[in-house]
Amino acid sequence: MSELMPVLLALTILVGGIALAAIMTWWERRLLGFWQDRLGPNRLGPFGIGQVAADMIKLLFKDDWVPPFADKVVFIFAPTAIVVAMMMGFAVVPFAPDTYIIDVNIGLLFFLGMTSLAVYSVLLGGLASNNKYALLGGLRSAAQMVSYEVFMGLSLMGIVMMTGSFSLVDIVEAQRDVWFCFSQVLGLLVFVVAGIAESHRLPFDLPEAEHELTAGFHTEYGGMKFAMFMLGEYLGLILISCMITTLFLGGWFGPMFIGDWLPPFVWFGLKVFFVICFFVLLRAAIPRPRYDQLMSLGWKVMLPITLVNLLVTGAVLLWMEGA
Amino acid sequence: MHTAEAKATNRVEEKLYRKFGRDIFTVQRCADKTLTLWLDRSRLIEVLQFLKPQFPMLYDLFGIDERTRTHRDGQPASDFTVVYHLLSLDRNEDMRIKVAVQESDANLPTAIGVWPNANWYEREVWDMFGVTFAGHPSLFRILLPPTWEGHALRKDHPARATEMGEFEMGSERVAREQEALRFRPEDWGMQQSNNDNEYMFLNLGPNHPSVHGVFRIALQLDGEVIVDSVPDIGYHHRGAEKMAERQTWHTYIPYTDRIDYLGGVMNNFAYVQSVEMLAGIVVPDRARVIRIMLAELFRISSHLVFYGTFVQDIGQMSPVFYMFADRERLFGIIEAITGGRMHPAWFRIGGVAQDLPNGWERLVREFIDSMPARLDHYDKMSMQNKMLKQRTVGIGTYSQQEAIDWGVTGPGLRATGSDWDIRKKRPYGGYDQFEFEVPTANNGDCYDRAQLRIEEMRESLKIIRQCLDNMPEGPYKSDHPSTTPPPKERTMEDIETLIHHFLNVSWGPVIPAGEASVMIEATKGLNSYHLVSDGGTGSYRTRIRTPSFPHLQQIPLISNGLMIPDLIAIIASIDFVMADVDR
């Protein structure tokens, strides 16, 4: 049974992840509607959830068009890369005790590696389109993701130092008493910002930047290939939310003083849901910085913060060891 | 007020006579009492250069085809007249210079050296009348497509498709049109490359989410930095000025609604005031206050759209929904009063279309009571946002001098420290009876232009409250014979009134021959309709001076050297609508 478990879980994640990402499109619109004094999609099915099916049917029946001026192979490959990379990222996420596909001692690095791979999707999509807006979008994404990956990795090193392990299961276990969101506040801050930048959502959706680059890197995309980009984006959003939960919000543990009176998986789900809603709120509330401002925010603010965080964490750990 | 103005005008007149002699000028009396001088083209540039220090702003430049005009009353012989409308902000004074050219030799020296914004205006005159300007660097079509044949505002150019012969789109024509669309950077005055690298050329628009309509800017990019930019307009041109020559004075009112399509009755305001000035109609008090109230409601409506889209273009997603919800409530009021929403076509020559409906006070009061708090809320949400400030403070800056050089008016001018609001300077339509401030700002950047408009909304609310509290009783249209449609109450009682009513409804009023224009502070800047009446039931020539036109012309000045996102912020902060630019 336990040998079958990862396989079953993998299938569940594959199907469930895609379904969840699809539902996210609806949930995000409803939530945005709520915050923007309007209704959002509410016509089809209960609370308008049928909109998900309607959108999928629409996208499936769209003309599967490849622009004659595009690099055909890369153009088709690009949107799949982001979905594959994001799905792979879920392999190391521990949803509950013993409910994970794989627990490797480099779990954290694996996650970081997979999110880095997703950059190729945006970059290649932008380059292969042979469109100026797409090119600008691709360029922006390359610069943005490469820089923010640095802080994303560094912001987690404090946790690794405190846990002494790269395994995500170990990291969750280490939060049995105190969640890392308290001891690693700066880490959390940087990770959240880098997470938005990595999943290129508003306010950091510069590769897409509707108002500047029409649709940025996916200007030339339509139909299912466009849907794949969207799927990848929402999977990325869910993945980042899962990671924030795992790394900073105590994973499957119930909150302190409230206790573990719900099944671990439900706690995990609730926290992920909370983080996702927070990301949607960010999207609704914050304007987009300029490309160079985003860069200087990264290198001049985020990098020092992470370094200070590392320094302080290290010092405290040494001091505690000494004591 | 009028006498003082006349005196000041005379001073300039006298200076001119002293410098150039009385003989080269011919004075024309216009219904709006603006000093209008004809002179020969050989002295044109000389005189304009002399006038430049007196009148730093070229307010408007346009042509008139005089060939079929009958009432010219001693004006010099002319086939095409080119009019230079000059404005002095300091002395609150304007004047017109008119130059005659003959069809066989339709040529003038360019005035770009005197006022840089003459560039687009001269292109338009060439486009519409075929008058060439010697020394103009880029004299090609501006509003009509490059393949257009003829000059559209000439009287012999057909006004309707049915007069133009069959339209064919054969392969030859397709090839010709496509060739005309080919983008060659050299034609736009751009280099392909410098010594180190090749530039990228990006056509931003005519279809782009952030250009607010069909507006195109050709960009020469070095990475994302704009090396050079050339705005290209004309995609929204509908021949509004040509249409005016086919419509009666009355039936043209709905067309004006669609010039600045966010401004609604604001366009009617400029138009009907010019007609009333030609006809000598005095509008009764109630109609005046109703007009001002509606105009200010539309100012708020337009500024709300500006506010929402400005913030959205910076990348903040939500506020636009709040502002559009407010605008929707405002449209509810406008609908209750006028029956229309965006284009109510509600002002009439001599008054307004109907009296205010029962219960209008409650609707308006509810709106103006709730708005200030909501504006405060939006302020906190958007204008105080640090990221929004980062994107807009110090971006797209121009000085007051530059604004005047380029014909920038309205909030764009007041953001540079000037308090030039024509509602205060030349209170038209009864604005002198209202208490309100003219908000100003000093930096002339994107943020200030936005902030100023928000303050203007608060001032407009004040004005509307005064309208609400002091709405006079009385008729809503004038008792003048040219008032259209004429009062109907006694038509069934005496034959004279019946005949009069019949003629005015079927043909429309006959407006005395003459010329007039009245400037108003429209939502986006100074707007005026220069009307030439030849003593008929329709206008002989209607020139629509819109604020957005010169505002777009100066985009390269403030955006070169910045990045694409800055250009988007600049475009958003200018607040233009393309219908207002292209007419």
Judge whether B292 and B429 are in contact, CB under 8 Å. yes
Please compute Rg for chain B using Cα positions. Answer: 24
CB-based contact, B388 to chain A, within 8 Å: yes
Domain count, chain B: 2
B218 assigned to some structural domain? no
E strand segments, B139-284: 200-204, 216-222, 225-232
Distance CA B478, CA B482 (A): 9
Residues of chain B below pLDDT 70: 1-10
Of B200, B224, B382, Cβ closest to residue A291: B224
Distance from CA of A262 to the nearest CA of B (A): 36
Are B357 and B504 found together in one domain? Answer: yes
Q: Closest Cα to residue A312, out of A211, A205, A186, A123?
A: A186
pLDDT at A2: 65
Query: What is the helix (H) or strand (E) element at residue B545, kind and residue range?
Result: strand B539-545
- Dist. CA B514–CA B72, nearest whole Å: 9
Distance CA B513, CA B532 (A): 7
Q: Are B397 and B266 in the same domain?
A: yes
Q: Rounded to 5 degrees, what are φ and ψ at A272?
A: -60, -45
CATH number for the domain harbouring residue B503: 1.10.645.10
Structural domains in chain A (count): 1
In this predicted structure, what is the pLDDT of residue B5?
41
Do B136 and B261 lie in one domain? The reply is no
Task: Give CA–CA dist B269/B253, Å, rounded.
Answer: 10
Helices (H) and strands (E) in chain B, counts: 20, 16
Q: Does residue B142 lie in a domain region?
A: yes
Residue B445 domain-assigned?
A: yes
Tell me the residues of A at the B interface, defined by beta carbons under 8 Å apart.
32, 35-38, 132-133, 136, 202-203, 205, 209-214, 283-293
Confidence at residue B22, expressed as pLDDT on a 0 to 100 scale: 81
Nearest in space to B549 (alpha carbons), one of B505, B579, B571: B579
Q: Tell how strand B93-101 and strand B107-109 pair up.
A: unpaired
- Classified as helix, coil or strand, B539 is strand
**Domain assignment present for B236:** no
The span from the CA of A285 to the CA of A283, in Å, is 6
Residue range of the domain that includes B261:
242-559
Chain A residues with CB under 8 Å of B322 CB are 36-37
Helix axes B360-378, B285-313, angle to 10 degrees: 30
Distance, C-alpha B45 to centroid of its chain: 26
ipTM of the complex in this document: 0.83
Q: Cβ contacts (< 8 Å) between B566 and chain A: which residues?
A: 290
Angle between helices B564-574 and B285-313 (to 10 degrees): 170
**Residue A74: which domain range?**
66-322
**How far A47 CA sits from the closest chain B CA (Å)?**
21
Q: What is the mean pLDDT of each run of 10 residues along chain A (323 residues)?
A: 73 85 88 87 85 88 86 88 88 80 82 86 86 86 82 86 84 80 83 83 74 79 86 88 87 74 82 89 85 84 88 88 76
Only one residue has tokens 């205006």, namely: B121
**Residue A41 belongs to some domain of the structure:** no
Give the one of A32, A287, A291 whose C-beta lies nearest to B387's C-beta. A287
Contacts 24+ apart (CB under 8 A), B154-161: B154/B65, B154/B128, B154/B129, B154/B130, B155/B65, B155/B67, B155/B68, B155/B245, B157/B242, B159/B239, B159/B242, B159/B243, B159/B245, B159/B246, B160/B246
User: Would the CB atoms of A214 and B208 count as touching at under 8 Å?
Assistant: yes
Of the candidates A36, A205, A286, which has its C-beta nearest B387's C-beta? Answer: A286
- Single out the residue of A235, A200, A294 nearest to residue A91, CA to CA: A235
Residue A12 is predicted with a pLDDT of: 83
Is A302 among the domain residues?
A: yes
How many whole angstroms from its chain centre is CA B251? Answer: 20
A184, A280, A316 from A247: Cα distances, Å: 10, 20, 19
Neighbours of B495 (CB within 10 A): 8
- What are the structure tokens assigned to A258, written together? 């409230």
Q: Smallest Cβ distance to A136: which of B224, B312, B321?
A: B224
Would A40 be classed as within a structural domain? Answer: no
Asked if residue A4 is part of any domain, the answer here is: no
* CA A289 from centroid of its chain's CA atoms: 20
Judge whether B229 lies within some domain: no
CA distances from B359 to A96, B325, B336, B347, B503 (A): 64, 22, 9, 20, 35
Q: Is residue A26 part of a domain?
A: no
Q: How far apart are CA B379 and CA B388, in angstroms?
A: 11
